[in-house]
Amino acid sequence: MLLNLIRHPQPLVDKSTCYGRSDIAVAPEMLAQSVAQLLPQLQALPPEWPLVSSPLQRCAQLAQSLAQAMHRPAPDVDPRLQEMDFGKWELRPWDDIPWAEVEAWNADLAHYAPGGGETLTEVASRMWQAFNDLLATSAEGAIVICHAGTIRMLHACAAWRAGQGETARPDAAALSDIALRAAAHRAEIPHARLLALDVSVSPKR
């Protein structure tokens, strides 16, 4: 299966601000530019491939606009594709977050809940469920509009599955491993670009 992953357009927030689950809008001109940029590539994909989106408006607005432009049904909205919840850190400048809290997270990336929100392992758990359901669809591909963090998690889920075999299901320790794989994925995820993730794999023997 081929997952066509798209990070939302740049939202109306300063890059020095911590944001995850916060529902931040995208400027109309940025949304229009993103649709025009993505449309030629997406129109070349089979029309039966599902279009799935995070419910946060920076993703959902792009998904809805693309669906309309391609004359498709409304996108499927999956809450599990939301970005990580940073709790009390949300919408605070990174420089204003106590360094001791940041260090505590760095010391236990998999299990510390920044700002009292979600742990990376909790994100990995819901993302594995979303990933598994995407693979269960009858289509040979899907278009997924979500967030940088969830794209990293989907890559980590695919890597774990490739190593363990397509019938394997992660236990708690494996979910922590998936979380740490995602955290180690430091490469920048560009906004409004199509990123193909091939998740075809043979069962491990």
| pTM of the shown model | 0.95
172's CB contacts (< 8 A; 6+ apart) are 121
Residue ranges in the chain whose pLDDT is less than 70: 201-205
pLDDT at site 186: 85
| pLDDT of res. 205 | 46
Q: Do the strands 194-198 and 2-7 form a parallel or antiparallel pair, or are they unpaired? A: antiparallel
